[in-house]
């Protein structure tokens, strides 16, 4: 079983919909990140958090539930410009070494 | 101004060849990374350098050798290319080496091994 699992989708929603993207994990990660990757571009960091609970930034809300080992990214009032692949990423420092693991990414299409 | 740049953008080559990909960042960051994204979009870190020193060296064949001549550059040399090396390779940089620090990714180099 992979350390980080993410439903690859694809996910297609109408403009204005609320989008929910999710990842589960099975290791002791400390930092949780969401990246957005447009087609044929490098990933860009959207949000990061290190504690359980919600973190909001504009139309984006990142949610972490450490007890269930589950993280989510919510996009409110989705726009066609949100169409991209969204990758979750998790990191940990263990025994002096660093670890970073990405999910496979969920491809999102927002239809006008 | 491009923050993180990579050359070449596309690379098509035959099995067994040796090739290099170059990465440069003009952000004044201390840490640089190489990632591999396979055909299924799975992104995996390969190497991390901090101030020209190797910090992370994931389980990567020793045919892959990173070289950091200075803080602003991290090149990736690949010997004896194999079909399975076909992927998009991303370079990234961040101010510090902690994972909470924002990483800025380059545009990627699409490597195709025939």
With an 8 Å Cβ cutoff, are B48 and A40 in contact?
A: no
pLDDT in tens, B66-91: 999 999 999 999 999 999 999 999 99
For chain B, list the strands marked E by DSSP.
4-7, 10-13, 19-25, 31-37, 43-50, 53-57, 64-70, 73-78, 87-94, 104-105, 109-113
- Domains in chain B (CATH in brackets) are 4-113 (2.60.40.10)
**Per-range mean pLDDT, top range of A34-48, B50-64, B70-84:** B70-84
**Which residues of chain B make contact with A105, given a CB cutoff of 8 A?**
41-43
* CB atoms closer than 10 angstroms to residue A80: 10
The minimum CA-CA distance between A32 and chain B, rounded to whole Å, is 8
Strand A4-6 relative to strand A19-25, pairing = antiparallel
Query: Do residues A100 and A48 lie in contact, with contact meaning Cβ atoms separated by under 8 Å?
Result: no
CB contact B5 to A (< 8 Å): no
Contact assignment for A105 to B102 by CB distance below 8 Å: no
CB contact under 8 A, B42 and A100: no
pLDDT at A98: 65
C-alpha of A58 from chain center: 16
Query: What number of CA atoms fall less than 13 Å from residue A5's CA on the CB side?
Result: 7
Q: Are the Cβ atoms of A105 and B43 closer than 8 angstroms?
A: yes
| Residue A97 contacts residue A32 (beta carbons within 8 Å) | no
Six token digits for residue B8? 């070449």
Which class is A4-93 in CATH?
mainly beta
Residues of A with CB under 8 A from a CB of B: 8, 30-31, 33, 40-45, 48, 50, 85, 87, 89, 91, 93, 97-98, 100, 102, 104-105, 107
Query: What are the pLDDT digits (tens) for A65-92?
Result: 999 999 999 999 999 999 999 999 988 7
**Region class of A78: left (phi > 0), else alpha (psi between -120 and 50), else beta:** beta
Distance (Å, rounded) from C-alpha A32 to C-alpha A52? Answer: 10
């Amino acid at each position: 079983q992979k350390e980080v699992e993410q439903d690859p989708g694809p996910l297609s929603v109408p403009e204005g919909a609320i989008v929910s993207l999710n990842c589960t994990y099975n290791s002791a990660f400390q930092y949780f990140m969401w990246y957005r990757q447009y087609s044929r571009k490098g990933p860009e960091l959207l949000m990061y958090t290190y504690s359980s609970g919600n973190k909001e930034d504009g139309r984006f809300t990142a949610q972490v539930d450490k007890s269930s080992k589950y993280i989510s990214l919510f996009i409110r009032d989705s726009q066609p410009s949100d169409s991209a692949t969204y990758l979750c990423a998790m990191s940990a420092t263990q025994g002096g070494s660093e670890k970073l693991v990405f999910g496979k990414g969920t491809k999102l299409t927002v239809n006008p | 101004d491009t923050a993180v740049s990579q050359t070449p953008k596309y690379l098509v080559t035959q099995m067994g060849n040796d090739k290099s990909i170059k990465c440069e960042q003009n952000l004044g960051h201390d840490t640089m990374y190489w990632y591999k994204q396979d055909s299924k979009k799975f992104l995996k870190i390969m190497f991390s350098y901090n101030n020209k020193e190797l910090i992370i060296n994931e389980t990567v064949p020793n045919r892959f050798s990173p070289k950091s001549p200075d803080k602003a550059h991290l090149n990736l040399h690949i010997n004896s290319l194999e079909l399975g090396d076909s992927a998009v390779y991303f370079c990234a940089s961040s101010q510090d080496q902690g994972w909470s620090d924002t990483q800025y990714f380059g545009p990627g180099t699409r490597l195709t091994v025939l």
